[in-house]
Homo-oligomer: A and B are copies of this chain.
Amino acid sequence: MAVYTDIAEDELDELLRQYNVGDALSLKGIAEGVENSNFLLHTDVGSYILTLYEKRVNKDDLPFFLGLMEHLAKNDFVSPSPILTKQGNSLTEVADRPAAIIEFLEGRSIKRITPGHCALLGDSLAKLHLAAEDFDLKRPNALSIGSWRPLFESCLVDKSHPALKVAEIKEIEEELTCLEKNWPTSLPLGVIHADLFPDNIFFLSEQVSGVIDYYFACNDFLAYDIAICLNAWCFESDASFNITKARKLLSGYRAIRDISEAELAALPYLCRGAALRFYLTRLYDWINQIDGALVKPKNPLEYLKKLRFLKDVETVAAYGIE
């Protein structure tokens, strides 16, 4: 939820002249996307999202992200498609920032998640994994297990920071060591969304109408994406785990793509890892708040509570399936 950069009217007009999208009627900064500036653009042709990539996004990754969206849309997945310029490019520049104009998908993200939404999520996640199968660009997961220890250490530079309590440092340290020892090494790989939180799925008429925000997408274990979703969608606000939602998510997924025995067996550790990853990035953002950002960092504590539940899970039976 961020709008960082203002766009002057002549800059916008100049940008739009590179495209076949008509003339600008209005441009509203929207509270969507944490890493970028996002605008809802109305032109005399239609509605679009204009995204400006702020400095937290590595420019070298943009061809992967935009190429993936284009690939998914071409393969009938509900990803918004980047609009190409008259020259055939998806990546342009405005207000001194890399920018892209992207198809606007109608639909609403859901605040009150039901098991039915989790079933639709599972279905979409599996379809995404299959639709991305023959995408030929690669991007390693910069936020996978190898990054967690350095990230944690960078959070500890100022040990007196109120976000860090001594007991939690020890707890996280032990969890890191445990995960480094037990992290799976040979599971099916593919392109994962890696951030498929409720904000990033639109529903319309009880169907998924859009999956957005591919700016963490990368190559990793497909089952790690399932783990991220289990953590993001199946806990209630009091940190209790809703096994019905988990079962629906997994069965929705399995109806489209099978989950192997090895993937099922690895899920408990993958969920712990996914919880630790979001705990650590939120902790880092909490400690290093960006000045001028129109976004309040998310409290890392939510993911510490989830992690504490997940540490006691030994098999996928806890997620409602055998």
Interface size on A, residues (CB 8 A): 34
- Contact, CB under 8 Å: B47 / A112: no
- Contact, CB under 8 Å: B295 / A294: yes
Q: Contacting A108 at CB < 8 Å: which of B26, B30, B32, B108?
A: B26
Task: Give CA–CA (A200, B25) in the complex, Å.
Answer: 16
A75 to chain B, nearest CB (A): 24
Interface-central residue, A10, A28, A40, by most chain B CB under 10 Å: A28
Q: Contacting A28 at CB < 8 Å: which of B9, B24, B28?
A: B28
Task: Give CA–CA (A105, B28) in the complex, Å.
Answer: 12
Q: Contacting A1 at CB < 8 Å: which of B24, B42, B203, B294?
A: B294
Q: Contacting A106 at CB < 8 Å: which of B6, B25, B31, B294?
A: B25
Copies of this chain per assembly: 2
Task: Give CA–CA (A9, B25) in the complex, Å.
Answer: 28
Residues in B whose Cβ lies below 8 Å from that of A295:
294
Task: Give CA–CA (A292, B106) in the complex, Å.
Answer: 28
Interface-central residue, A1, A24, A27, A31, by most chain B CB under 10 Å: A31
Task: Give CA–CA (A137, B32) in the complex, Å.
Answer: 38
- Mask of A1-33 contacts with B, CB within 8 angstroms, 1/0: 101001111101000000000001111111110
Residues in B whose Cβ lies below 8 Å from that of A107:
25-26
- Contact, CB under 8 Å: A1 / B29: yes
Task: Give CA–CA (A32, B29) in the complex, Å.
Answer: 8
- Contact, CB under 8 Å: B111 / A9: yes
A110 at the B interface (CB under 8 A): yes
A122 to chain B, nearest CB (A): 20
**Beta-carbon contacts under 8 Å, A124-166 to B:** none
Residues in B whose Cβ lies below 8 Å from that of A40:
28, 30, 40
Task: Give CA–CA (A112, B24) in the complex, Å.
Answer: 16
Q: Which residue of B lies closest to A31 (CB)?
A: B29
Interface-central residue, A32, A105, A294, by most chain B CB under 10 Å: A294
In the complex, 9 of the A-B residue pairs with CB atoms within 8 angstroms, ordered by the A residue number, are A1-B3, A1-B294, A3-B31, A6-B111, A26-B108, A28-B32, A30-B31, A42-B106, A294-B295
